[in-house]
Amino acid sequence: MKAATTSTSGRWFWIVLAAMLSACGGDDAVEYLDTTMTLEIEAAISTESVEYTVGCVNSANSLPGAELLRFEGSLELAGVGADPEIPTWVWREVASFPAGECSVQLRGRDGDDEVIWTLVEPLVVARDTPTEFYYFVGSDFFSEVWGYSGDAELIAETPQASGSTGAHRVEYTLSCDGSGDVFLDNSFSDAVTIDGNLLVSGESTADFGSGPVPTSIWQQLFESLPAGPCRVELRALNEAGELLCTVDYGINIAPSTVTQLHAFIQCAE
C-alpha cells in the first residue's frame, strides 16, 4: 500500500507565491494567455497520469492581499521522446493562465492512483511571446528531490489465538501531519491518513511478562510517507470482530529510509 507523498517543493510552491503578493501590478483586467506545459519523463519511472496545480497572483488587484488565482488540470500523454538512447514519455497540455508570474506544481501518479513524485517550478506567462514550460524528469530526480519522504514498516506481535479467543485481526490507522502548506484560503496539505488491516506474516515467541509464549506476527509496509511525525493506532479484534484493545504509538518518519515500529500487543480478555 502506498501513501500519498510529499517533498520540500510543496512548501516552496506557496512560499514563492506569497513573495509575489507584495509586487502585484495594477492592470484593469486579468489577461489570460495560452501556455504549453511539456513534461518529459524517463520510461523507467512508471507514471500513469500527470496532474498540475498552477497558482498566479491576480495582477488586476493592486490592493494588499491580492487574490490568488488557482488552476488545476492534467497533462495528456503525447508520445515518446526523440532521443533513442534515453527512452522517455512526453506529457503535454495547453492551458490559459494570467500574464505574469505564477508557480506550477506537477504530480505523477502510478497505476494505483497514488502520488509517486512531485515537483514545483516558477512559471512566467509572457504577454508578447508564446509561453512554453518544459521539464525533464530523469532517473536522478528521486535522489535529488525525493529526499523528503520516507517509508514505514509496522510490525505487531500478539499471543497466538486459541479457538475463538485472542487476536484474530489487527487493524491500523496511520496518520501523518505532513507540511500542511497554506496560502491565503487555499491549502495543499501533505497530511495522510491510512486505515487497513495488518497482514499475518509468520510466527515467533515473545515474553509479555510471564515467560515466552507463541506469537503471531502482523506486518505492513508503507511507501512514500511525508517525513516527520506520525501516529499509529493498532486495534486487536477477536474472531467475532469485537475490539479487544487499542494501543497508540508516535513515530517519526525519517526521509529516504525505512522507519520501523515493532509493537507487542497483549489484551486482557
Q: List every span in the chain annotated with CATH 2.60.40.
A: 8-139, 148-264
- H/E element, 13: helix 8-21
Q: Are 6 and 45 in contact (CB under 8 A)?
A: no
pLDDT value, residue 145: 44
Of 53-67, 103-117, 159-173, the least confident: 53-67
How many alpha carbons lie under 13 Å from residue 92 in its C-beta half-sphere?
A: 13
| Phi/psi at 13 (5° precision) | -55, -45
Closest by CA position to 100, among listed 38, 33, 52, 37: 33
Q: Which CATH architecture is the domain 8-139 placed in?
A: Sandwich (2.60)
State the chain's mean pLDDT as an integer: 78
Closest by CA position to 249, among listed 152, 168, 159: 152
Q: pLDDT tens digits for 172-207?
A: 999 987 653 333 333 345 678 999 999 998 899 999
Closest by CA position to 216, among listed 238, 199, 231: 199
Mean pLDDT of 239-264: 89
- For the cut 80, the answer to whether the pLDDT of residue 122 exceeds it is yes
Mean pLDDT of 91-111: 88
pLDDT value, residue 42: 86
Fold of 148-264: Immunoglobulin-like (2.60.40)
Mean pLDDT of 70-85: 90
